[in-house]
């Protein structure tokens, strides 16, 4: 925002700030995970149950990401409408800008999950080194990109910075605990979101059909996740057990 204010003025910086705030909504999906992740993994780590730690990390990646994919698409597809609600027409930004920031926030949180391993091993100096390196890259990239591309350049720089930070954190964490990264699941989620993405791209012009189309897109996302076998048998058993316990309670 400092670079945007310096090169483009406060108007552009304000528009970027609004877009960043809207994109940051994705971070709310990950917030509950961090309340329990470190205490749970620390308890297992201290008694040498490393496979259990890996399971915690695997599921911590899974559920917020499955929610983040459609949320990012909806924030991007309804960018103009959301800005119209929370701000004025002076702060209009392109949907791509909000989508870029929202994706960056999701990647940042995925990296924060991997960072749990460094916390468990008391390797705060590595976390500091990664943070300083990411900040240096961000400043250097903004110096080059922002004067030419403005807010869009700043958003892309943010995405690249969080991407590099997450990659470095992941590499260092895997050298300590080789927990499985959820690449297959992420690919399935992105593929399942294709109908919703197409509806948001092509269907929003017909305002009368807009709500129904979005509901269909969200339903198809859930349906395709089931078809792709994203949820394991033990997860279904857990859901049934929770429902059964609720029904049996007075």
Tens of pLDDT along 49-72? Answer: 998 898 889 889 999 999 999 999
According to the 3-state scheme, what is the secondary structure of the chain? CHHHHHHHCHHHHHHHHHHHHHHHHHHHHHHHHHHHHHHHHHHHHCCCCHHHHHHHHHHHHHHHHHHHHHHHHHHHHCHHHHHHHHCCHHHCCCHHHHHHHHHHHHHHHHHHHHHHHHHHCCCHHHHHHHHHHHHHHHHHHHHHHHHHHHHHHHHHHHHHHHHHHHHHHHHHHHCCCCCCCCHHHHHHHHHHCHHHHHHHHHCCCCCCCHHHHHHHHHHHHHHHHHHCCCCCHHHHHHHHHHHHHHHHCC
Once rounded to an integer, what is the mean pLDDT over residues 116-138? Answer: 94
Q: What is the pLDDT of residues 33-44, one digit of tens each?
A: 998 999 999 999
Q: Could you count the other beta carbons within 10 Å of the beta carbon of residue 238? A: 11
Q: Could you count the other beta carbons within 10 Å of the beta carbon of residue 209? A: 13
Q: What is the pLDDT of residues 183-212, one digit of tens each?
A: 888 999 999 999 999 888 875 555 556 778
Task: Name the most confidently modeled range: 81-90, 126-135, 200-209.
Answer: 126-135
Alpha-carbon torsion 142, 144, 147, 152, what sign?
Answer: negative
- Copy the structure tokens of residue 207: 């305002």
Q: How far apart are CA 152 and CA 112, in angstroms?
A: 25
- For 37, half-sphere exposure in the C-beta direction (CA atoms, 13 angstrom radius) is 24
| Residues with Cβ within 8 Å of residue 186, at least 6 apart in sequence | 65
- Copy the structure tokens of residue 170: 């992941």
Least confident range from 6-10, 59-63, 91-95, 124-128: namely: 91-95
pLDDT band for 218, please (50, 70, 90 cuts).
Answer: very high
Beta strands in 78-192 (DSSP E): none
pTM: 0.86
The predicted structure's pLDDT at residue 239: 61
Give the whole-number percent of the chain exceeding pLDDT 90: 49
């Amino acid at each position: 925002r400092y670079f945007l204010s310096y090169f483009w003025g406060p108007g552009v910086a304000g528009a970027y700030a609004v877009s960043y705030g809207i994109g940051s909504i994705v971070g709310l999906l990950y917030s509950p995970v961090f309340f329990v992740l470190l205490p749970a993994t620390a308890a297992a780590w201290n008694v040498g149950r490393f496979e259990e730690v890996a399971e915690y990390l695997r599921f911590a990646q899974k559920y917020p990401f499955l929610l983040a994919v459609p949320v990012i698409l909806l924030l991007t597809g309804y960018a103009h409408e959301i800005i119209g609600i929370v701000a004025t027409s002076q702060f209009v930004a392109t949907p791509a800008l909000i989508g870029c920031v929202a994706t960056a926030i999701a990647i940042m949180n995925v990296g924060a999950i991997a960072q749990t391993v460094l916390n468990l091993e008391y390797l705060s100096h590595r976390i500091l080194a990664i943070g300083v390196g990411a900040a240096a890259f961000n400043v250097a990239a903004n110096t080059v990109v922002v004067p030419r591309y403005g807010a869009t350049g700043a958003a892309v720089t943010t995405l690249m910075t969080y991407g590099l930070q997450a990659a470095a954190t992941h590499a260092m964490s895997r050298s300590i605990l080789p927990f499985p990264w959820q690449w297959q699941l992420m690919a399935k989620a992105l593929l399942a979101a294709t109908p919703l993405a197409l509806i948001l791209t092509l269907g929003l012009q017909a305002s009368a059909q807009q709500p129904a189309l979005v509901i269909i897109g969200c339903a198809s996302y859930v349906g395709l996740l089931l078809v792709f076998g994203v949820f394991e048998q033990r997860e279904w058993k857990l859901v049934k057990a929770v429902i059964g316990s609720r029904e049996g309670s007075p």
